[in-house]
Amino acid sequence: MKRIWAWGALTFGLLYFFLPLIGMTNFSLKMRRGEYSFDAYARVLADPKFQETFGFSVMMALFTILFGIFLIVPTAYWVRLKMPGLRPYIEFVTLLPLVIPAIVIVFGYIRLYNTSSWLPLTGTTTGTNLLLMFGYATLALPYMYRAVDTGLRTIDVTTLTEAAQSLGAGWITILSRIILPNVLVAVLSGAFLTFAIVIGEFTMAALLNRPAFGPYMQLLGANRAYEPAALAVIAFGITWACMGLIQLVTRFSKHTRAQR
């Protein structure tokens, strides 16, 4: 009885998720009348705008990840090591982006960093890109910080630091050669998640007028019929790949840890 009910709930859940995926895949293959084809994909992939925006978003994602690592790993480490009392507050701050909508944050950026402000970031292309990257880093903050902090919890930060210090290591060495390698798996998990978020992000890029993948998809969706479905399949593939990579590195780390 209980099991029937359980299977029912699971089936409902699976149906809910697979129907749209089947729907979009099916639709993306129907560009040619009367038969299945990859025409929609070919059309999308050949579009120079696609290559341009996709490339832009990938670059943005990589920079965001690098920036996030440089910002968050030392901070999380330092808080764990020296200021554990600060942790609840930091945690609260890192969760704020989940509560304050992205559209509100980017609205603040536009008003705060416009050409007539004290920090006219939106005045130049580089400045706007920088601002967009900061925005992405803010969006990724809850995930990145949590991943790194969880990673740090599994190692004994204090002992490792003291051991390294007693051997004469400085802070840069400790962070780059001791702490980072030990939380690499956590950092990578956070990085892949950041990648998935940045690639599909629409609101910030659209409002800052940057040629990113998200706004491109939206634009295509408004004007074409079959290409959007193909794009959705591609985007889903990217998300899936990112999550798969997270699973992979986590499993890999468990494996090496078990050997130790």
Partner 1 sequence: MQSDKTSVPAATVTMPVRTRRTLPLNWLGVLPFAIFVTLFLIMPTMKIVVGAFQTPDGSLTLDNIRGLFTPSIMAAYWISIKISLASAILGCIIGFGVSAAVVLGGLPQWIRGPLLTFSGVASNFAGVPLAFAFLATLGPVGILTVFLKTQLGLDLRLLGFNLLSFWGLTLTYLFFQIPLMVLIITPALDGLKREWREAAEILGASGPQYWRMVAFPILFPSLLGTLALLFANAFGAVATAIALTGSSLNIVPILLFAQIRGDVLGDPHLGYALAFGMIVITGIANTLYIWLRARSERWLK
Contact letters for partner 1, residues 23-42 (x by CB under 8 A): xx-xxx--------------
Q: Do 123 and 109 meet the contact criterion of CB atoms below 8 Å apart?
A: no
SS3 32: coil
Quick one: which of 78, 127, 128, 173 contacts partner 1 (CB under 8 A)? 78
From first CA to last CA, the distance across the chain in angstroms is 45
Cβ closer to partner 1: 159 or 260? 159
Token digits for 33?
Answer: 């009348």
Per-residue tokens: 48: 């120079």
Could you tell me which residues come within 8 angstroms of residue 102 by beta carbon, excluding any fewer than 6 positions away? 135, 139, 201, 203, 204
Span 229-248, contacts to partner 1 by CB under 8 A = 229, 231-232, 235-236, 239-240, 242-244, 246-247
Least spacing, CB of residue 114 vs partner 1, in Å: 11
Q: 144 to 203, contacts with partner 1 by CB under 8 A?
A: 165, 170-171, 193, 196-197, 200-203
Question: Binding residue for partner 1 (CB under 8 A) from 33, 46, 88, 222?
Answer: 222
Distance CA 110, CA 207 (A): 8
> Is the distance from CB of 140 to CB of 199 less than 8 angstroms?
no
R_g of the chain computed on alpha carbons: 22
Contact status: 218 vs partner 1 (CB under 8 A): yes
> Site mask, partner 1, residues 85-124, x = CB under 8 A?
-x---x--x--xxxxxxxxxxxxxxxxx------------
